Structures are given as C-alpha cells and as structure tokens.
Structure 1
Amino acid sequence: MRILHVLSAEFFAGSVAYAVQLAEAHRAQGHQVWIVADADPLPTGATLVWAGISNRSYRQRLRNARIIRRVVKNEQIDVVHCHSRAASWVSYFALRGLKVPLVSTVHGRQHLHTSTSLLDVYGDKVIAICDNLREHLITEVKMAAAKIAAIPNGIAFGNEQLSMKNEESAGTLADDNSSFLIPHSLLSEPLRLAFIGRFNGGKGERVADLLEQVFPALLAEFPTLELAFIGGEWDSLPARGKQAFAALQEEYGSAINLVGFTHDVPGWLARTTLVIGAGRVAIEAIGAGRPVLALGEASYEGLVTEEAFAAAAASNFGDISARQASTKVDFAAVLADARAFLQTPKTVSAALQQQVRAHYNIATVAARVLETYQAARMQKAGIGYIPVLMYHKIPDAPLATKHQIYVTKENFEKHLAYFKQRKLTPITFADYLKYASGELPLNEFPARPLILTFDDGYTDNHTNLLPLMQRYGYRGVLYLLGDFGVRHNQWDLATDPTEPRADIMNPEQKLAFVAAGWEIGAHTQSHPRLSTLPLREATAEIRQSKAALETALHTEIVSFAYPYGDLNDAVKNAVREAGFALGVATDTGGLTIEEDRMQVFRVNMFPNESTSSLFKKTSPWYRKYYRWKRGK
C-alpha cells in the first residue's frame, strides 16, 4: 500500500516514536510510506514532507491541507493515517471529495465539547491505543463502536539481554518461579530509581509531586539511592518541582541526576532498579526486564505484575481513564510501594516480560493497523454487506438427522440457479483480502458479491458439491480439520450415537478443491467447542490446524471457522494471534466483514430453503432483521 502519516512533531513524544516505528515496520513489509510533519529530520527512511501541523492558525491549517492534498494526489496515496487531533483536522478537509480513506490514532482522552461530537474529523476508522480510551470514545465522545479498534502502540523490542555486571558468576537468589531478586553484583552498587517521561503538562505535575512527597523520604531512608530524571521539556516543569529538585540536589549532590532527553534509554534502563513512568515508558521498561511503578496523568496503577498487567494496560499504565474522574493520586501509597520494593528489589518475571513483548510487538501491531487500513479502504469504496452462507453436507437424498445441517444435491443446484439468476457473484475470503489490500483493483470488485462456505469436508462435498459448483463456474471456501486422521463426524456420534455417520474426504479429494481454485480454511484439529477448553488447549487446536493444512495441502490458510459458532473474546484473540486474517462465526457478528474480522456473520442454510428464504438470506437488510427478530 501507499501510506501517508500526518503528525505533530514539535518534540519527539511517544506518539511520534510510535508513528516512526510503524512507518518502518510497514516499509520493511514492502509498503511505500510518506510522512507529513513539522519535524525534519525524523529517524526514518520514509519520504518526509514538512508542514506546520502543530500551528493551528487558520492560515497555516489551510496551507497544511493543501500540502496533504497535493501529496495524496501526486503520490496516489491509498490511506492517510493521522496521529493527533491537529493532524486529523487538516487531513479531514484535505481529503474532501477524494476516495482516499482517513484513519486516526487517538493517543489520549478528548475534550468533551459540542464540536467533538458534531464534527467527526477522525475519519473512517479510529485506533484507540488502549481499552479505556476506546470506552471513552464510545461512551463520552459518542463515536460509533464499529469504527473503533483498540490497538496498542507498538514497540520494536531488541533481543539484547540486560547488562548485569558479573551476573553469571554472582548468581541470583530466587524466591519463586515468577520473579527473581536482583543479582548480588547489583545489590553492591547504588540503587537507582528513574522517572522517565515528559516534564510538561500533567506529567510535569506528577514529577513535582514526587519531588515534594516521595523522593525526599526515599533518599533519607536509602543512603545508596540515586535518582535519574530522563525525558524532554524540563524547562516546562512546574516551579514548585524545580524548587524541590534544587533542594534535593543541594542536599544529595551527585545522587540527583538530571539526564534530560537521551537516545540511550535502553542503557539507562539496564542500570536502573525501579522505573516510574507510564505509557510507552512503562512498556519499554518491562519489555527490557525493568520493574515499573505505573504512574500516569490519569491514575496510579502501582507495581506492574502479571496479575496487574491487564488493568494497567487498559489505562496505558495510568495515562488514560475510561470516564471523567478525579486524577488525584495518593502519593503516600506511591511512597509505600517504592519503599517496599527498594527493600527487596526484584527483576520483572520472565512471564510478564514475554506478555508485554507479545502484546506490544511492533510487527503484530503493524499487521493490525494494516488490517484497519484495509477496512477503511473497503468502507470508503462503499463495500458493505456481503452475504456469507454456511453449508455442510450435500447428500443425494434427505438424511434422518435432527441437526438439519444439509442441503440435498437437487436442492443445492436450485440454490446455484437462484444465485445465477440474481447475478450474485461468489468470491472467497482470500479474494476479498486481495481487493482490500490493493492486490486486485477495487473498481473490479463484484457489484453483488456472495461467499459460499462449507464446513467439515464430507465426502459428498467431493462427489456432489464440487461438480455442481464447477458447472456454474463458482468457487467457495471449504473449512477442514487439521487432523486428517479424523475420517467421520465423530463429534456428532460422541454426543448422540443414533446420529448417522458421515464420512470425511481423503487427502486426494481435499486436494481436488485446491486444484479447482477453492479457498481452504481451518476448522480446528478435532472439532471441539473452543470456549469450553482451557485457553492453552484451544490455542493449540487453532494453531495446529493452520499449520497442518498448509503443510498437507500446500495452500495459504487465511480464514478460520469456529466449530458450532462457539467463541469468546479469548478464543477470537487466539485466532488473530495464530495468524488468521478472518474468523467466521454462525449467526453472530458484525453487519459487515470489516465491523469485526474475527467474528464474520454467517447464515445457516437448511434442507428446505425456498426462493423467498434465499432472497431474504442474501438481502442487504437480513442481518439487521435477524438481530431485531431475536432482540440482539
């Protein structure tokens, strides 16, 4: 894709660092990237274009909009991604009348005034960097939930180990399997507590409070303690903070270290016992194995542990609240937590470090953001509702089964004739993704698309379904189990021995569908109800099915079908993390594919579908009708 980022970059804030790393991640994947910003240079190989985005005078806003529009038209940009409200404002007007989608990342709470709700300048899709921010945008700003994706800021974590002098020879004192005491070599050195972050705005107020209420007591109690203040905008620190800092520096001298802005944050982390910070600072510190007291502009989240991680991450480690609330912090609690930690310092547990690195991994985040670009692109092109129909068995004659998940060969041919008559064009999910990514031109997208899916891979799919589909020139999506040793519907017989046995295709028959241009999707290894399994087992079922099918059938697997339509948020996350682009459900999900790619709405097809029911189930209004009828 051809991607344009627009950002305010008067100083190198976390949002700027994130945008740059995202640009580099997409460039590494072969995408072309431009950046319009009021900073030059930036540490990126993307093409830079200067514009005074931070200058909000109406004259400069007009200039900025003209610059952005010129870049978009000259470079044939596919998507514009903004990283501040100022950037979104000018881009919104720059793109008026163009078919180019606008995506905005919102990095913090928005001012609650009438213009925020009335004029939605954030564009076609919005990325909220944490769960609290998404809730704020929905409940307080009144944004449509369907347009907001919660995607964290990504971090390009290094693979280096923390430099701990003589660690191997000194050994460690372990207290349990989840965390470890600091090595003896570090205990013989001064303890170092570092505040890392900006010193202006709300962060500056927090630093002033720490200097007045926390650090004096800690320095008095721990004779070897050193303090480091790392970050930009020191001149903006409140006057009371500067006075408290000067008093501490006069009393403790070189133990008080004003580092200021530095590119060597990893080096300082390696020499720090405890970090106080929020947002990107907390993520980078934990990812590097450094313990964090999460203190942000909105709240104090305390020491980040495995148990506390989810809640801390939801607030971006104290920076963002879900609702308007007091931002008052109990600094006596901060002092108590810091004191308790410094008495028995510990490193971050390997499990927490791995959890943070996985959640904020820039490659994973970049893939999620790219998915959002594609969603905005399809939405901007006016591609909305696509009927997705779910079939199973296609037998010669009616079956004596209570499940009614079959359509006879004769009736199925009537379905195909109806689709042909209505000029519906069957495509696959793999086709859809090619249009969304730009691999296929959007102006060639079918006017009336239809996706036909078939679960389990019964032998009658080979003998009856495949020839019929070929006769009509159609292709579909076949969802198969990864375990080719499963040769019949054993999951049905396990719950009801009276259920008729239905055989599963052999490998050669499955390969015939690949040869015919069908998409193959994964349907787990053994057809369990995923939400009833321990998450580790469910994840194995999901991951192994993808790997097994790709190996056996030599085809890329991009979509996953949940057995029984059974899912929950944890299962959906496991499907995404396994590398699937889409997860398809049964009678649940969004009104469009892009509303929730991990829960695509499929319509169940039954033995006695009529012309009227086929009309209903392939109509644009059907999903809304289905929800209304069932009170969903």
Structure 2
Amino acid sequence: MNILMALSQLEVTGAEVYATQVGNTLAQRGHKVFYVSDTLNSPHQGQYFKLRFNKRSLPRRVWHVFYLIYLIFRYKIQLVHAHSRASGWSAYVACRLTNTPMITTVHGRQPVHRSRKKFHALGYHAVAVCENIARQIVRDLGVAESQVSVLRNGVDSQVFKPLAANHGAKPVIQIIGRLTGPKGQLVYQLLEQCIDLAANQVQVISGSQIDPIFDKFKTKVKFCGYSANIRQTISQADLVIGAGRVAMEALMCQKPVFAVGEANAIGLISVDNLASAMASNFGDVADGGKTELDIDYPQLAKQLRSALKQPKVDEEVYQIITEQYSLEKMTQRLLELYQSAYVYTKKREIPIIMYHRVIHNDPSQHGVYGTYVTLERLEQHFQTIQRMGLSPITFQQLDEIGLDHRFDHGKRYIILTFDDGFKDNYDLLLPLLKKYQFKAMIYAVTGTDHNRWDVEHPSKPDQRFELMSPQQLRDIDRSGYVEIGGHTVNHPKLASLSHAEQQHEIAYNKAQLESLLERPLYSFAYPYGDHNEQTKRLAKQAGYTYTVATDSGPVALHEDLQQIRRIVMFPSTTKFGLWRKIKGNYTIKKAAKPQTKNLS
C-alpha cells in the first residue's frame, strides 16, 4: 500500500518516533511510506514533504487540505495515518473529499469542546496509545467504543536490547524529554527540588531550545541536546526519568525508570505499578478530568533517593514490556486495521467466486440442484474478468503476495473457486483456463468417485456426476493453472458431526491430497458452507491458512481467515450479473458492516 504519515510538531516528539519506526517497518515489508509534517528529524525510509500544520489560520488550513489532496493524487496514496490534531483535521477533510481511508493514532489527551464533539476528525478508527486516552475519547468526545482501540507504542526489540549496569563514581540520572510546555516546568522542578545535583551526574537529553530559566543549572547539569541514538545514550544511565516512549525504551534496555509525566508521578516502575503506568502512558495521560500535574516534590525527592538504590529492572516487568510494546506485533495489528479501513472506506475487497460443475449446453446435465455453469457462459465470465483488468490468483499466490499487499496500487485480484472436483473441470475448465491464462482453485472430495452425497439424498436424489480420478487430480494440479484444496472425505455437513468425525473428514482428506500431490495444501472449503466454531478451529489445526465458506463471514477477508466469504455463481448469472458481483462492493451491500474488532 501507499501510506501517508501526517504529523505536526516543531521538535522531535514521541509521535514522530512512533510514525517513523512504524513507517520504516512497513517499508521493510514492501509498502511505500510518505511523510508530511512541519519538521521530521528521525531517520525514515520514504519521501518527506514539509507542511506547516501549526500555522492554523483559515487560509492556511485550506492550503493544507489542498496540498494533502495533491499528495494523495500525485503519489497514489491509499491510506492516511494521522498522528496529531492539527494534521488530523486537515487530513480528515482531504480524505473525505477524495474517499481515502484514514486512521488516527492519538498520543495525548484531546481537547473537549462543542465542535470537537461534533467533528471528531479521527477517520475510520482511532488508535490510542494507552487506556486513559481511549477512555477519554469515548467518554468526553462521544466516539463509539467500536471505533477506538488501544494499540501501544511499538519499540524495536532488535535495537532496544538489555544493557549492562554502570559502576561509576556517581550515579548517572538522565532526564529525557521536551523542555517546553508542562514538561519543561516539570524538569525545572525536578532539578530545583528533587535531585541532589552534587551527589549525582545529571544529564538532560532534549532537542528543545533551552529556556533561560535553566541557566542557573548549567554549571551543575549537562544539557546534552537531541540524541540520534537514544539506546547508546541510555547505556550511560543508572536511572532514567521520563514518560511516554522514553520509559518503555529504557525498560526494554533494562534500565530502571522513574516515570514522571505531564499528568502523574508514577515513581520507580515495578510490577506493582506497571499496569497503572501503562494505562497512563507512564504518567503522561491522567484518567478522568484531571489535566494538570499536581506533585508533592519533597515526597518525590525521597522516592528518587530510594529508586537509586534499586538499579535492576524486575524480570517480570521486562517480559511484560517486551511483549506489550513489540514493534513487529504492533505493526502487524496496524496493518490489519489499515486493511479494514481500506475495505470499508473504499467498499472493495478481492472477489472470491464459487462454481461447481462446467457443462456443455445440454439440459440433461443440469441435475436437480443446478450447481453448474455452461462452458459458453463461463467463457463470457472469463471475458468479463479480463476486460475488468482482474488477475485470477490462487490462495498460495495470495499467501506469497501477502494479505496486506492485496490492495497495492495497480493490482486487482480475483479468486475463482470450483467445489467438489468434478471430472468436467478437467475436461472443460482446464482448457479454458489455459486459453485465458487464468488460475483457479478446485476443492476436492477424496472418499468417492462421484457426487454420492447428492445421489443418495433421502428426499431429493440427484443424478450421478463423475469426479476426477486421482491421476487427473495430480495432473490438473501440476498443470500450473489449478491449485487443489481440501473439501473433506465424504462431503458431509460438518457442523452436525462430532469432534472426532469432523477432525477425520478434514485431516484425512488433507493427508490423502498431500500424499497424492506431494505438496502442502493452503486452503479448505466447507461443504455446503456449513461449519461451526469447532470446525474452524479444526481446519486451522489441520494446517490450513485459508478456509472458505459461502455467503457467511466478515466482508474483509483478513478479519477471519477460517471463514472467508465467497460469492455464488448461478447458471443464470449473466455477464452483467457477474460484473455487478465482482466490481468490489457486492458483499458489502449484502452484509451489514460488522463492528470493528477491538485491537487491545
């Protein structure tokens, strides 16, 4: 995907580090990432465009919107990820005008006023970096809970690894963060009231311009400026004082952290206070109506002296932080959210269409259930697919492309599926696939040589139609045009069977096919689309990455890979009917939009 990160800041912030680290991870996965911001100092892979979001006059805001629209069209942007109120407002308007998916990561408390309640400007979904922010968005702004998720800052565990403790003559205390606004006042009070500047080496790490109020400390405190390698900087510390991203990075380096932020003084991070620290983004965000920091500085000074005597991070704290703030896991969950935003904003998903038998135009071959398409009609369908510029792929190919790349600019895919493995697929479908250079999925039953499940139906028996022989299954799978998938041994309604019976039908069918084809199977189709939660678990346990149903399951494919929705083709489906079903929004119109899964 082509993704635009929109930020607004005049100095390095946690939001910038968050955006660039996520962006760099996305770029490593093959996505194109662009940035637009007032400034951008953190290392980043992707083009950067300077835009003064902090200039907020009406003419400026209009210019911001039009410039974002230009970027969206010029660079084929498929999703905008905003990281601040100023950039978010302009991005929201630009995205609405261009029908571009947008999400917002909220890094701090949101201002509450009438216009903000009416005009959230958060896009498809709001990602809060901690629980207190999520609660405030829902409570004070009236945003639906289904539109808000907690997804913590991502920290690269390959960069922020455990560091050895220092053994200097004096303890090294590092205060890391901005020196502007409330945080600047906090740092001043820490230096003035809480830290023994003679007994400790104090380093202030900040990219902010140093206010004259700090002049009095310059002979006793080292003001180090901005650090381009924060891990190397942290390596010198015995104790890190900070909040937000700084705290979690230091903890992943196993450096003790004394968390003090814009809202709370958490103290030395331990197992006992870790949950509340994480909920407040390590002191930066209060819960409820509290907005100003209220600290008993003499008491804080005592706590700091005690913290210096505990130079080791608790192992349980380290394990929780490493798990909760994993950059890889956070990026993966963001990608899932990007895909949902794209599907429901653009109203587009890969169409997966379902056929069974292919016949000549012979009424004697229609059968009782009408599960056929004539060769003439199927060729019309193929011609329509070709004219629409859709590329038929298999599930193995989708896996190789990557789910999160199925919407890459200039790519339009479709998956053709044929259930049961009828012999006519070998005789009639395969030559047609070769003619159009299309690929298809065939889901094969292995316990019979004909459609016994229909022929032996107690009240509505069908005529006999032959299935492919084992050799034909092997040959068609090796043709390069067909990928075989599993479809049970005997074609039962799986949900009506016991656990053991379901497991046998799924696992033994897979074993038979993999032995025959000498390769692993990627996908499975539920006979009749019939399944329950147990069936889904068994399909996943059997090793199937993708499992298709019929007309059930979420609209967005990635939201449940064990219940992928398909679009049924009927004998009467014309070229226009096919176009209507595969142009992109058919399943969205048929199915009510599901609630967004909470990612917390």
Residue pair 2:159, 2:231 contacting (<8 A) in 1 also? no
Per-residue CA deviation, residues 409-464 of structure 1 (Å, 9 max, x unaligned), is xxxx96979xxxxx9xxx99997985873159787779xx9x99xxxx99879997
Give 1:597's aligned residue: 559
Which of the residues 239, 257, 276 maps onto 1:274?
A: 239
Residue segments in structure 1 that go unaligned for 5+ positions in a row: 165-181, 388-412, 418-422, 481-488, 494-498, 522-528, 531-540, 550-556, 562-583, 604-617, 627-632
The farther-off stretch of 502-511 and 98-107 is: 502-511
Q: Distance in 2 between matches of 1:295 and 1:520?
A: 53
Q: Distance in 2 between matches of 1:435 and 1:163?
A: 35
TM-score (norm: length of structure 2)? 0.65
Residue pair 2:3, 2:33 contacting (<8 A) in 1 also? yes
Which of the residues 232, 241, 251 maps onto 1:286?
A: 251
Q: Distance in 1 between matches of 2:511 and 2:72?
A: 49
1:377-396 residue pairs with structure 2 within 5 A? 377-382=342-347
Q: Distance in 2 between matches of 1:593 and 1:53?
A: 34
The farther-off stretch of 325-334 and 122-131 is: 325-334
1:9-28 residue pairs with structure 2 within 5 A? 9-28=9-28
Q: Distance in 1 between matches of 2:113 and 2:591?
A: 37
Which of the residues 195, 202, 206 maps onto 1:231?
A: 206
Which of the residues 192, 196, 221 maps onto 2:176?
A: 196
Residue pair 1:462, 1:509 contacting (<8 A) in 2 also? no
1:150-161 residue pairs with structure 2 within 5 A? 150-159=150-159
Is 2:304 the counterpart of 1:338?
Answer: yes
Per-residue CA deviation, residues 326-378 of structure 1 (Å, 9 max, x unaligned), is 642343443332222223x3222444334323332323222222222111110
Give 1:295's aligned residue: 260
**SS state of the match for residue 275, structure 1?**
strand
- Deviation of 1:214 after TM superposition, in Å, equals 1.6
1:191-590 residue pairs with structure 2 within 5 A? 191-215=171-195, 218-219=196-197, 224-236=199-211, 239=213, 242=214, 246=216, 249=217, 253-254=219-220, 256-325=221-290, 327-343=293-309, 345-382=310-347, 434=403, 437-438=406-407, 504-505=507-508, 507-509=510-512, 511=514, 519-520=523-524, 549=543, 558=545
Q: Distance in 2 between matches of 1:86 and 1:125?
A: 17
Q: Distance in 1 between matches of 2:308 and 2:101?
A: 50
Larger-gyration structure (1/2) = 2
Give 2:97's aligned residue: 97
Residue pair 1:375, 1:436 contacting (<8 A) in 2 also? no
TM-score (norm: length of structure 1)? 0.62
Residue pair 1:230, 1:259 contacting (<8 A) in 2 also? yes
Give 1:573's aligned residue: none
Q: Distance in 1 between matches of 2:188 and 2:503?
A: 74
The AA in structure 2 aligned to 1:509 is: Q
* Cα pair distance change 1:205/1:442, threshold 3 Å: same
- Deviation of 1:43 after TM superposition, in Å, equals 2.7
Per-residue CA deviation, residues 46-79 of structure 1 (Å, 9 max, x unaligned), is 1122221221122222222222111211221111
Q: CA RMSD in A?
A: 5.1
Q: Distance in 1 between matches of 2:132 and 2:486?
A: 38
- Deviation of 1:290 after TM superposition, in Å, equals 0.6
Q: Distance in 2 between matches of 1:41 and 1:518?
A: 44
* Cα pair distance change 1:224/1:138, threshold 3 Å: same
Q: Distance in 2 between matches of 1:97 and 1:306?
A: 48
Per-residue CA deviation, residues 252-299 of structure 1 (Å, 9 max, x unaligned), is x54x22223232432331121111110111011111111111111121
The farther-off stretch of 357-366 and 275-284 is: 357-366
Q: Distance in 2 between matches of 1:137 and 1:95?
A: 21
- Deviation of 1:96 after TM superposition, in Å, equals 3.6
The AA in structure 1 aligned to 2:277 is: A
Per-residue CA deviation, residues 140-198 of structure 1 (Å, 9 max, x unaligned), is 2111222223222222344576665xxxxxxxxxxxxxxxxx5xxx4452112221111
1:71-82 residue pairs with structure 2 within 5 A? 71-82=71-82
* Cα pair distance change 1:8/1:350, threshold 3 Å: same
* Cα pair distance change 1:105/1:188, threshold 3 Å: closer
| Number of residue equivalences | 479
- Deviation of 1:42 after TM superposition, in Å, equals 5.4
Per-residue CA deviation, residues 366-399 of structure 1 (Å, 9 max, x unaligned), is 2222222111110112259x99xxxxxxxxxxxx
Q: Distance in 2 between matches of 1:348 and 1:267?
A: 18
Give 1:70's aligned residue: 70
Residue pair 2:162, 2:252 contacting (<8 A) in 1 also? no
Is 2:107 the counterpart of 1:112?
Answer: no
The AA in structure 1 aligned to 2:406 is: S
Per-residue CA deviation, residues 539-562 of structure 1 (Å, 9 max, x unaligned), is xx99xx77x83xxxxxxx54699x
**SS state of the match for residue 135, structure 2?**
helix
**SS state of the match for residue 122, structure 2?**
coil
Per-residue CA deviation, residues 202-240 of structure 1 (Å, 9 max, x unaligned), is 21232233234322xx45xxx642222221325358x5x
The farther-off stretch of 72-81 and 88-97 is: 88-97
Q: Distance in 2 between matches of 1:225 and 1:367?
A: 42
- Deviation of 1:315 after TM superposition, in Å, equals 1.4
Give 2:492's aligned residue: none
The farther-off stretch of 508-517 and 355-364 is: 508-517
- Deviation of 1:308 after TM superposition, in Å, equals 3.3
Residue pair 1:298, 1:318 contacting (<8 A) in 2 also? yes
Identity of aligned residues (%): 24
The AA in structure 2 aligned to 1:328 is: D
The AA in structure 2 aligned to 1:597 is: E
* Cα pair distance change 1:501/1:333, threshold 3 Å: same
**SS state of the match for residue 227, structure 1?**
strand
Residue segments in structure 2 that go unaligned for 5+ positions in a row: 353-367, 373-380, 382-392, 421-443, 455-464, 469-481, 489-496, 526-532, 566-586, 596-600
* Cα pair distance change 1:66/1:514, threshold 3 Å: farther
The farther-off stretch of 266-275 and 511-520 is: 511-520
Q: Distance in 2 between matches of 1:263 and 1:347?
A: 25
Residue pair 2:24, 2:44 contacting (<8 A) in 1 also? yes
* Cα pair distance change 1:558/1:110, threshold 3 Å: farther
* Cα pair distance change 1:341/1:516, threshold 3 Å: closer
Give 1:172's aligned residue: none
**SS state of the match for residue 233, structure 1?**
coil
**SS state of the match for residue 89, structure 1?**
helix
Q: Distance in 1 between matches of 2:10 and 2:347?
A: 37
